[in-house]
């Protein structure tokens, strides 16, 4: 799932760590895999922060990406087949979400409320109907399905309950309402058949065109 450049870097780092390690049975492949996960996550987080800074919406995008990632751990959803594609798509999704939030803030009161309400219903419906949903990169065992489904529903319910209770107290929308609902909305879309078809069509196009982003480890 990792691009060759990152895998090569992590392999070299793993070999260096193994040579320096006092353990004779240090597994270079295991060390490299762990490094790929750590460095990949760090790079994605750095790009998310950079995107938030550029858009002038750092806190909004951080909250949105946090709720998106938290629900994704339990509900699953579509993934691209390579690390590079996953990285680029994640950043683009959060930039798109940031633009959605910026537009929502500019809407008049009723329209802004309608965005929050429709986004909440869309996310709740998709989580209830589809979660958990796996893919070739992250398979869910049959015995794990009830656990992940329960966790997905509870998480979605708690977030939406907090949003609307706070909204009722304040009497108007706050920036974190947009962030939380948009994060749920985007994750909800990745669970749908449309989300899977969209990613599949993009993958086919990239596979035909080739290029660096199409490389697999």
Residue 4 lies in a domain: no
Query: Which pLDDT score, from 0 to 100, does residue 132 have?
Result: 93
Q: Among 20-24, 36-40, 110-114, whose mean pLDDT is lowest?
A: 20-24
Q: Number of folded domains in the chain?
A: 1
**How far apart (Å, rounded) are the C-alpha atoms in residues 32 and 12?**
8
Residue 184 lies in a domain: yes
Tens of pLDDT along 75-85?
Answer: 999 888 777 78
Question: Which residue segment(s) compose the domain that 172 sits in?
Answer: 47-214
Tens of pLDDT along 159-211?
Answer: 999 999 999 999 888 999 999 999 999 999 999 999 999 999 998 888 887 65
Residue 2 lies in a domain: no
Query: Which pLDDT score, from 0 to 100, does residue 25 have?
Result: 56
DSSP string, the chain: ---HHHHHHHHHHHHHHHHH-S-TT--HHHHHHHHHHHHHHHHHHHHHHHHHHHHT-HHHHHHHHHHHHHHHHHHB----SSHHHHHHHHHHHHHHHHHHHHHHHHS-HHHHHHHHHHHHHHHHHHHHHH-SB-BTTB---GGGHHHHHHHHHHHHHHHHHHHHHHHHHHSS--HHHHHHHHHHHHHHHHTSHHHHHHHHHHHHHHHHH-SGGG---
Residue 158 lies in a domain: yes
Query: Which pLDDT score, from 0 to 100, does residue 10 have?
Result: 75
Residue 91 lies in a domain: yes
Tens of pLDDT along 100-137?
Answer: 998 888 888 889 999 999 999 999 999 999 999 887 66
Residue 104 lies in a domain: yes
Residue 140 lies in a domain: yes
Residue 162 lies in a domain: yes
């Amino acid at each position: 799932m990792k691009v060759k450049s990152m895998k090569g870097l992590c392999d070299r780092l793993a070999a260096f760590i193994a040579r320096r390690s006092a353990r004779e049975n240090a597994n270079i492949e295991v060390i490299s895999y762990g490094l790929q996960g750590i460095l990949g996550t760090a790079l994605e987080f750095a790009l998310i922060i950079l995107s938030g800074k550029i858009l002038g919406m750092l806190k909004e995008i951080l909250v949105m990406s946090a709720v998106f990632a938290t629900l994704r751990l339990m509900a699953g959803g579509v993934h691209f087949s390579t690390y590079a594609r996953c990285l680029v798509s994640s950043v683009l999704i959060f930039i798109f979400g940031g633009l959605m939030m910026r537009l929502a803030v500019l809407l008049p009161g009723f329209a802004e409320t309608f965005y929050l309400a429709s986004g909440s219903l869309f996310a709740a419906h998709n989580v209830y109907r589809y979660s958990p949903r796996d893919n070739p990169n992250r398979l869910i065992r049959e015995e794990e399905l009830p656990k992940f489904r329960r966790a997905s529903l509870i998480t979605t319910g708690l977030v939406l309950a907090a949003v609307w209770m706070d909204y009722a107290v304040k009497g108007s929308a706050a920036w974190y309402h947009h962030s939380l609902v948009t994060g749920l909305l985007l994750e909800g879309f990745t669970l749908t058949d449309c989300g899977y078809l969209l990613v599949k069509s993009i993958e086919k196009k990239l596979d035909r065109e080739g290029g660096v982003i199409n490389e697999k480890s």
